[in-house]
Chain A
Amino acid sequence: MTIAQEQQASWIRNFNPLLASNSSRWPTRAGVYEPLMIFNTLKGELVPWLATKHEWSEDNKKLTLTLRPGVKWSDGQPFTAKDVAFTFGLMKQHKALDISAVWTFLDSVQAKDDATVEFTMTRAFVPGLIYIVHQPIVPEHKWKDVADPVMYKNETPVATGPFTEVKVFQNQVFELGRNPHYWQPGKPAVESIRFPAYPSNDQANLALLTGELDWAGSFVPDIDRVFVAKDKEHNHYWFPLVGNTTVLYVNTTKKPFNDVRVRKALSMAIDRDQIVKVAMYGYTRPSDATALSDTHDRWRNPQAVQAGDWTKLNIEKANAMLDEAGYKKGADGVRVGPDKKPLRFDVNVVTGWTDWVRAAQIITQNLKQVGVDAVLKTYDFSPYFERIQKGEFDASMGWTSEEPSPYFVYRDLMGTETLRPIGEVSARNWHRYGSKEADALLQAFEATNDPEEQKKIAYQMQDLFVKNAPVIPLFPGPSWGEYSTRRFTNFPNKDNPYAKLTPNTPPENLLVLVEVKPK
């Protein structure tokens, strides 16, 4: 099976699963080294994998995982709780490997017996579960002798996953073969997976059109005409809206964005239907005011959506609200604030991200209609990202957090934990908005394991978000996935949504890797 996921002109041999996924070759973090459990975005549930069940203690400070019996490493050695404890130990010792920062809330990880691991936390932090169970596990008997696991390229992996044998590794192509000891009998059905190097989206898309690729996760413009029409019987795609949400960040430490009326008015002036149609080829839909994508559809609060009228186009009301906030139209049609400064600001976007650039163009045109002079500014990715992280911007296109629970989305959009002063790099909360009310809700969410209670709090978070409009949501992000059924079948799709189709989000792609069958 031929797959395109990473974009490179030549491959570097690296199968270290403890590094972030862009460093090691796909699918090191899922298809080679497996996690304990996998969150299935479409079903909204945790799928047991190397661990069969998880259990919280009464006070939610202790998590016990029961491991699957009979799992073997690809060299035939048994997989045990010691391997799990060892992996987390490595991450404690080497901070650079702890990419989801689990040791900020973990206190200790212990192997109780061969099949039981106990995680003790410093505080009740239920949302941390997802980081723990998604961690790929490495074998202690191989890794205990590795001098520096941060610099380790692990060229010949020994792992529990379905594909562990490196059959070919050349600069422009590599191939992985089946694990002879895989714990799921009869799986994977695919003999081997192959990765030709494509330096950019264009080359990957070309290979998709010529029928060389069986599975890909790239953005294809106008896909019905370009790809599907070439071979209606075999060429398919599925773009469920389970990515992160694209939003317009406005710097809430600055005038006029510190005024909620202005934020809502600007949002009401934006024609999201046009953005979706023109900039996004109709692949998505306008976002509602909760800023949640379909990943969190189960959590959506209908009342909050109802109350969030400020994501609907309403020029009249936008004008009225800006007037009310003290920004009156000046002689040249541009509004002037109470401080006599014209309402003029930059909208930052990344050079070459054509869908975003077009969206931002539409936004600036829309805003002109309500007397706001917004100017499009394009930057290369790294200066763009530096500006947004340091909070040195007026308005900027950006994305929200993608973790399974809405807790993370709202922690990063309105919690004070992620808040940093202007000029200091912040991983999240780029618009610098923090609310004590949100903190209380977030803390309550962290401490509860009761689904009903969690839902109630999530509803309250949405009400709070809709009331304050910390950022301006634009559209939920599609998760890109294309496949051809010429040689292989049983990919997930609209009619058989057993997992996300996209290969881009580990570890969920592992669910697809073991299910796909040769024709």
Chain B
Amino acid sequence: MRHILRNLGLYAFAAWASLTLNFLIPRLMPGDPASAMFARFAGQLQPEAIEALRQAFGFTDEPLLQQYFTYVGHLFQGDLGLSVAYFPAKVTDVIATGLGWTLLLSGVAVIIAFGLGSLLGVIATWRRGGWLDSVLPPVLIFLGAFPYFWLAMMLLYVLGLTFEAFPIRHAYSDTLAPAFSAEFILDVLQHMVLPATAIVIASLGGWMLNMRSTMVGVLAEDYITMANAKGLSQKRIMFHYAARNALLPNVTGFGMALGFVLSGSLLTEIVFSYPGQGYLLIQAVRNQDYALMQGIFLTITLAVLGANLLVDILYVWLDPRTRAR
């Protein structure tokens, strides 16, 4: 518990630092958002209307410090401002359209990749030199070297278009309305197969190799020999003695990956027209939509911090040393 409390202060500091960076970075980008907005309407708007819109958006030439205080003040009221790209929708409304779907898709994909990758790593090391150990790592590294979106496009083309085994776009069938019914949930799962597979294939190798390398070290430890000598079952040694200790570095990685889930597996989402955050982020950058960018970065930052807190708690459970004084 003390370990976690000690870290909370650190988290608060990290949150503040990222909020501030979040405010600064978009404003350091080249280009002026009002003219970018102008650009989006490609000549549809006359200059007088632009000037009026500028005011409606609250683009001001106030000093940065003042803008910063307004920003922080609004933030605490849960007001992230108006989106330029989706004017006149609120940033919170815009993010709400994609957040859930991104969480679902990337969350499921990361959990599967982490679980499967770690398991494969454990088994491969346990039967060192076996076919799993010699064939899988190079194959997975090879696949992992492909960009996500390339794998996504291949899956879309082969499984989606040629064999028509799975739907190729959207999070659920257009003919269904979201509901808590078996039909809808099944439909969502079906739509998730291809995009999730693309992400899992691309990231599986990393998890497996990490697990494998720490497992190799752990297996050489004396307590493993000891457990063997005591005649414990192989399964128990493999999972309770070896894997539990070897898992620690991977758990740290899992925390990071969970956090980045929110940034969306950007390109995968776009390939499959998945209604997530990835596209929103691109739209925000293209339109210099400060408010939306800040909103998205904020959710990402908070997610990374939250996930790290979760990992800290997991650590306490996995590693008894953190419980000691």
Contact = CB atoms under 8 A, between A and B. Distances in A.
The answer to whether A and B assemble together is: yes
A96 B53 contact: yes
A14 B89 contact: yes
A20 B44 contact: yes
B83 to A, nearest CB: 8
B47 A427 contact: yes
A381 B41 CA distance: 12
The listed residue with most B CB atoms (<10 A of its CB), out of A9, A20, A210, A426, is A9
Nearest to A94: B52
Nearest to B32: A386
A267 B153 CA distance: 42
Given A23-B87, A382-B31, A383-B30, A99 B45 contact: yes
B182 interface: no
Contacts of B269: 9, 199
A385 B39 contact: yes
A196 B46 CA distance: 31
Given A95-B51, A172-B275, A386 B89 contact: no
A30 interface: no
A153 B31 contact: no
B174 interface: yes
Interface residues of B, number: 56
A427 B43 contact: yes
A199 B264 CA distance: 14
Contacts of A14: 86, 88-89
Contacts of B39: 381-382, 385-386
A199 B270 contact: yes
B177 interface: yes
Interface stretch (B9-17, B92-100, B138-146, B235-243): B92-100
Nearest to B173: A173
A12 interface: yes
A402 interface: yes
A474 to B, nearest CB: 18
Contacts of B47: 101, 425-427
B266 to A, nearest CB: 10
B288 interface: yes
A171 B98 contact: yes
Contacts of B287: 382
Contacts of A101: 46-49
Interface string A1-13: 0000000111110
A382 B35 contact: yes
A104 interface: yes
B211 to A, nearest CB: 34
The listed residue with most B CB atoms (<10 A of its CB), out of A10, A20, A101, A402, is A10
A171 B53 contact: no
A8 B83 CA distance: 15
B198 interface: no
Helix, strand, loop or mixed for chain A's interface? loop
A198 interface: yes
Contacts of A426: 47
B53 to A, nearest CB: 5
Contact of B170 (A23, A196, A386, A401): A196
A389 B88 contact: no
A517 interface: no
Contact of B38 (A203, A210, A427): A427
Given A173-B174, A386-B35, A401 B49 contact: no
A16 to B, nearest CB: 8
Given A22-B41, A99-B44, A152-B88, A171 B97 contact: yes
Given A150-B88, A199-B270, A10 B38 contact: no
Interface string B254-275: 0000000000000001110111
A152 B286 CA distance: 24
Nearest to A11: B97
The listed residue with most B CB atoms (<10 A of its CB), out of A98, A197, A200, A207, is A197
A97 B44 CA distance: 12
A261 interface: no
Interface in B268-325: 269-271, 273-276, 278-280, 283, 286-288
Contacts of B48: 95, 98, 101, 103-104
A72 B38 CA distance: 35
Interface in A343-397: 380-383, 385-386, 389
Interface string A265-286: 0000000000000000000000
A9 B46 contact: no
A381 B89 contact: no
7 contacts: A14-B88, A98-B52, A99-B46, A172-B174, A207-B169, A382-B31, A382-B36
Interface of A: 8-12, 14, 16, 19-23, 94-101, 103-104, 150-153, 168, 170-173, 194, 196-200, 203, 206-207, 210, 380-383, 385-386, 389, 399, 401-402, 425-428
Interface of B: 30-32, 35-36, 38-53, 55-56, 82, 86-89, 93-94, 97-98, 101, 161, 168-172, 174, 177-178, 269-271, 273-276, 278-280, 283, 286-288
Given A9-B283, A210-B161, 9 more contacts: A9-B274, A10-B279, A14-B86, A20-B44, A98-B49, A101-B46, A196-B273, A385-B36, A402-B43
